[in-house]
Chain A
Amino acid sequence: MATEHEFDVVIVGAGGAGMRAALESSQRAKTAVITKLYPTRSHTGAAQGGMAAALANVEDDNAEWHTFDTIKGGDYLVDQDAAEILCNEAIDAVLDLEKMGLPFNRTPEGRVDQRRFGGHTRNHGEAAVRRACYAADRTGHMILQTLYQQCIKQEVEFFNEFYVLDLILDGDPQAAGEDGEVAAAGVVAYSLQTGEVHTFRAKSVIFATGGAGKVFKTTSNAHTLTGDGMGIALRAGIPLEDMEFFQFHPTGLAGLGILLSEAARGEGGILRNSEGERFMERYAPTIKDLAPRDMVARAMANEVREGRGCGPHKDYVLLDLTHLEPSHIDEKLPDITEFARTYLGVEPYTEPVPVYPTAHYAMGGIPTNVQGEVLRDNTHVVKGLYAAGECACVSVHGANRLGTNSLLDINVFGRRAGIAAAEYAVATAETPALPADASAQIEGLVASLRETVGGEGTERVAQIRKELQETMDRNVQVFRTAESLAEAHAVVKDLQERYKAIAIHDRGTRFNTDLLEAIELGFLLELSEVVIAGAEARKESRGGHYREDFPTRDDENFMQHTMAYKRADGTVDLDWKPVVVTKYQPMERKY
């Protein structure tokens, strides 16, 4: 295979956002999807519970109620114009998937069925509403499969197991200033199969690379979710927005972090402490176990901290499904109950399941406008560069994402980015030229890592990664303080130094996953620093970011987004960006 390629649009990542973008883009312009994994391995497939849309198929509902819930759920850090688009376009997003063949569960009348989910309410908080469209507890699996099937139908061109490592820009995003112009020119990728470095010239580039959950130890995220796209953007001089906001999903299998869908509570499951108490009644009297994830996760951690945890170490709480009919569980929650049986040996028909919060979702990411165009500062875009899905920050999730809004996000903003990128490419006459040495940096990186084999390096990738994840779990999880963050910051800086002295084992060219993991760790170390820096600067508590030393929300000083820039000398600088408010003024967040 030649190692130099040219396309109108290059999409990086083949999860839900990437493939939804590809379906639009490939109809309009010559498109390639470059993906580290086979498309069907992407972590969209692990999403379980549903996709929100005010279809009103089973009870009264509308997009405005959904918008309000999204903004309140995000603790008023949501950009409200983006939330309006998300919720208004949700209905067509679900219907589009149905028309593509997605096998949603059905009502007796044959319509798409809907169920309850955390934070989704009727008429601004009156009661839980059935808004989540779903396919058993494998909604993400069905979305990923359906989008992949449509990509096969449209003969979308994939470069599978190509690991994009660099973004080539025409212009310097941090030097361009008010009047300068910066544009995408292409990407550089490493072929896992051959070990060759490839260049892709393109008029438009879309990043849809997913999350970065592997900065934490206890996580629902796949091993491969190492924040590559966010890290590449950061290194290219593009800021990252709101990275201190990480969602800890309440119900991870205790000790393992494997996700048990919020649908378990949507279908009637109850959280209990060691006294058998339904403790969420104390924290969220109206919607109880269906409060937003940040509140439930904090409540669980608090129960454990105050000595009401379960098990020999009193370090988890219980998810009780035993009052549900086994046939109902089999019909609505087959996969997650199977996880409990397989991995914990617990039978959910008769025994409550041990659960504890697990790092789940990055609310922050590469800043974009509502067309998916990437911002290089608070107002200017990088021409021809787009981002969508978890790697992006529009921001529709603000400080805390509602369950079922991420499967929605990838469809709405994946589609928008795909259309915008293709239209920009069609309107652009010339494909930008790549500099002659476009791939030199990555070839150098790969060669230098290979040369560490058998060399003097004393550090091991797995050891550094383990220490990173442990310090992030210990210090940057549900509860944070100035001290815990300072400790994490110091550890990460130290690990970044030690990373320079790593040695890998594999000098081979084909499927060198040893080398891959070393590169991934580099991204994790840089992103962790950004998460911590944002968390240190945000001296308030909002959504998923809870500072014990600043336990209340401070709208006067902090109702704004962080924008983290990596400077040429390696330091991380923070700036602030105003929240877009349309008609929802911040109010106290009670459920």
Chain B
Amino acid sequence: MTAPADAPVTTDAIPTMTVTLKILRFDPDGLDGREPGTEYWEEFQIEAHATDRVLDALHMIKWEQDGTLAFRRSCAHGVCGSDAMRINARNRLACKTLLKDLNPAKPIMVEPIKGLPVEKDLIVDMEPFFASYREIMPFLMTSGPTPERERLQSPEDRERYDDTTKCILCAACTTSCPVFWTDGQYFGPQAIVGAHRFIFDSRDEGEWDRLEILNDKAGVWKCRTAFNCTEACPRGIEVTKAISEVKHALNTGEI
């Protein structure tokens, strides 16, 4: 029973290649003679398929070469938002980035996302990011008695905020934003996306509470329309467009 002919095998015929990854490490414990908090680059070589994900490459390193390498991951197909990292100077999900899309002839540079405190290797402290999300009151606000059946919403009204419901809170957008990197106060694009999802939901009555928060000095006017966030979003959300719709609502008083 070691290798029955009917076992599914689909990668047999695909040749492997040698891929180099250069990873920005951060050692909080100070092991192997390092000072605690040492940051350093380390290079690894692996044998991989072109269709492997960067996450697969990181696993090969962790599982076969260096178990101390730390990164977050869970679903491994782009829906849980755990593994946002900076890959070749662009924010991406490691599980949604295939080696063949990266020019594997050159070393692949992997760093933690920027602007949040690094905890260990590719793991950052997400708490400031989630604090900004909580700030914009990301929950349906309604008044009056609760209806017996569902609240009605037309397909058109449902479509109005569809794009921003896709957000997986991975922080790729916020940590790609040059304003977020330099301005410790700015909520960042994700919080605005999170607010947009409710502001443009016809069932919600808290839109002006949220718009007031976003009108604050830490809010939407900090955005300089660099478009980094839209490029970074692994869910294809038009982040900059959502931000401009929020700006428009504030400017015109209309939703």
Q: Which residues of A contact B (CB under 8 A)?
A: 37-38, 40-43, 45-46, 94-95, 98-101, 103-112, 135-136, 138, 141-142, 145, 149-150, 152-153, 193, 218, 222-224, 254-255, 258, 301, 304-305, 311-313, 315-316, 335, 339, 342-343, 345, 354, 356, 460-462, 473-475, 483-484, 487, 504-514
Asked whether B166 lies within 8 Å of A138 as measured between CB atoms, the reply is yes
Number of residues on chain B facing chain A (CB within 8 A):
71
Q: Contacts A41-B74, A98-B151 given: A514-B68 contact, CB under 8 Å?
A: yes
Count of A-B contacts with CB under 8 A? 190
| Closest partner residue, chain B, to A36 (CB atom) | B74
Q: Is the interface of B mostly helix, strand, loop or mixed?
A: loop
A-contact bits for B192-211, CB 8 A (1 contact / 0 none): 00000010010110000000
Asked whether B77 lies within 8 Å of A258 as measured between CB atoms, the reply is yes
For B68, give its contact among A136, A461, A483, A506 (CB under 8 Å): A506
Asked whether B73 lies within 8 Å of A223 as measured between CB atoms, the reply is yes
Q: Most chain-A Cβ atoms within 10 A of its Cβ — which of B66, B72, B98?
A: B72
For A504, give its contact among B67, B73, B157, B161 (CB under 8 Å): B67
Contacts of B177-203 to chain A: CB distance below 8 A? 198, 201, 203
Contacts of A483 in B (CB 8 A): 1
A-contact bits for B144-159, CB 8 A (1 contact / 0 none): 0011011111110110
Asked whether A356 lies within 8 Å of B8 as measured between CB atoms, the reply is yes
Asked whether B28 lies within 8 Å of A508 as measured between CB atoms, the reply is yes
Asked whether B68 lies within 8 Å of A101 as measured between CB atoms, the reply is no
B232 to chain A, nearest CB (A): 16
Contacts of B162 in A (CB 8 A): 103, 136
Asked whether B138 lies within 8 Å of A223 as measured between CB atoms, the reply is no
| Closest partner residue, chain B, to A513 (CB atom) | B70
Q: Contacts A99-B150, A504-B67 given: A255-B158 contact, CB under 8 Å?
A: no
| Stretch from B119-127, B223-231, B241-249 forming part of the interface with A | B119-127
Contacts of B161 in A (CB 8 A): 103
Asked whether A110 lies within 8 Å of B10 as measured between CB atoms, the reply is no
Q: Contacts A95-B150, A101-B204, A514-B62 given: A223-B76 contact, CB under 8 Å?
A: yes
Q: Contacts A43-B75, A106-B154 given: A152-B138 contact, CB under 8 Å?
A: yes
Contacts of B4 in A (CB 8 A): 474
Asked whether A103 lies within 8 Å of B201 as measured between CB atoms, the reply is yes
Q: Contacts A138-B166, A313-B10, A508-B28 given: A99-B146 contact, CB under 8 Å?
A: yes
Asked whether A152 lies within 8 Å of B134 as measured between CB atoms, the reply is yes
| Closest partner residue, chain B, to A259 (CB atom) | B77
Q: Contacts A141-B168, A149-B139 given: A111-B64 contact, CB under 8 Å?
A: no
21 pairs of residues in contact across A and B, judged by CB atoms under 8 Å = A37-B82, A38-B82, A41-B82, A99-B151, A100-B140, A103-B165, A104-B150, A110-B152, A110-B155, A142-B165, A152-B139, A222-B76, A254-B10, A315-B7, A316-B8, A335-B79, A339-B78, A342-B96, A460-B63, A507-B31, A514-B62
| Closest partner residue, chain A, to B165 (CB atom) | A103
| Closest partner residue, chain B, to A356 (CB atom) | B8
Asked whether B152 lies within 8 Å of A315 as measured between CB atoms, the reply is no
Contacts of A46 in B (CB 8 A): 75, 77, 79-80
Contacts of B152 in A (CB 8 A): 106, 109-111
Contacts of A105 in B (CB 8 A): 155, 158
Contacts of A145 in B (CB 8 A): 165, 167
Asked whether A343 lies within 8 Å of B169 as measured between CB atoms, the reply is no
For B150, give its contact among A112, A149, A152 (CB under 8 Å): A112
Known: A135-B165, A505-B67, A514-B62. 20 other contacts (CB 8 A): A37-B74, A40-B81, A41-B80, A46-B75, A95-B149, A106-B154, A107-B155, A111-B149, A111-B152, A112-B150, A141-B168, A152-B133, A218-B8, A222-B76, A313-B12, A342-B96, A475-B1, A508-B27, A509-B29, A513-B71
B11 within 8 A of A: yes
A251 to chain B, nearest CB (A): 13
Q: In the complex, A161→B51 CA distance in Å?
A: 31
For B74, give its contact among A110, A222, A511 (CB under 8 Å): A222
Asked whether A141 lies within 8 Å of B79 as measured between CB atoms, the reply is yes
Contacts of B28 in A (CB 8 A): 508, 510-511
A90 to chain B, nearest CB (A): 14
Q: Contacts A222-B76, A313-B9 given: A108-B155 contact, CB under 8 Å?
A: yes
A443 to chain B, nearest CB (A): 18
Q: Contacts A46-B75, A339-B77 given: A304-B6 contact, CB under 8 Å?
A: yes
Contacts of A254 in B (CB 8 A): 8, 10
Asked whether B153 lies within 8 Å of A222 as measured between CB atoms, the reply is no
Q: In the complex, A504→B82 CA distance in Å?
A: 23
Contacts of A313 in B (CB 8 A): 8-10, 12
Asked whether B11 lies within 8 Å of A255 as measured between CB atoms, the reply is yes
Contacts of A218 in B (CB 8 A): 8
